[in-house]
Amino acid sequence: MHIKRFEEAQAYEAPNHWGVHGLRLQGFEEGGPTNQWVGYSQFLPGGGAGPDSTPFEKVYVVLEGEMTIEWDGRSEILRAMDSCTIPPGLERRIENRSNHVCKMLVVIPYPPKG
């Protein structure tokens, strides 16, 4: 069992993101998860990420607010408690087009060791 208090979460900067403050809730620490890490992102109005892709899947869970996600010429708005799985290699872009902060959990596998 590994308990980590919110006050202990460390900030991180994600590449190709803007208008966002990220905190690592779990991962990359002794006793923590062995196959993925969990981030908490707070996107200001107009904040977002991409377009880009990763070689691994990830999961987004919107906790509060809304986030527009675009991929393959499609667009959807995720709202509180909506989630999505982004498959490996899928190019996507996200943007908070609302006037409220969007709070999101992100679950990402660790990069391959090499």
Domain assignment of residue 1, yes or no: no
Averages of pLDDT over each 10 residues, the chain, 114 residues: 96 96 96 96 98 95 98 98 97 98 97 75
Domain assignment of residue 114, yes or no: no
Count of domains for the chain? 1
pTM across the whole model: 0.93
Q: What is the span of the domain harbouring residue 35?
A: 6-109
Residues 26, 54: Cα–Cα separation, whole Å? 20
Read off the CATH number of the domain in which 104 is found: 2.60.120.10
As a three-state string, the secondary structure of 30-56 is CCCCCCEEEEEEEEEEEEEEEEECCCC
Domain assignment of residue 69, yes or no: yes
Rounded alpha-carbon distances, angstroms, from residue 62 to 19, 50, 55, 67: 16, 17, 22, 7
Domain assignment of residue 15, yes or no: yes
Domain assignment of residue 83, yes or no: yes
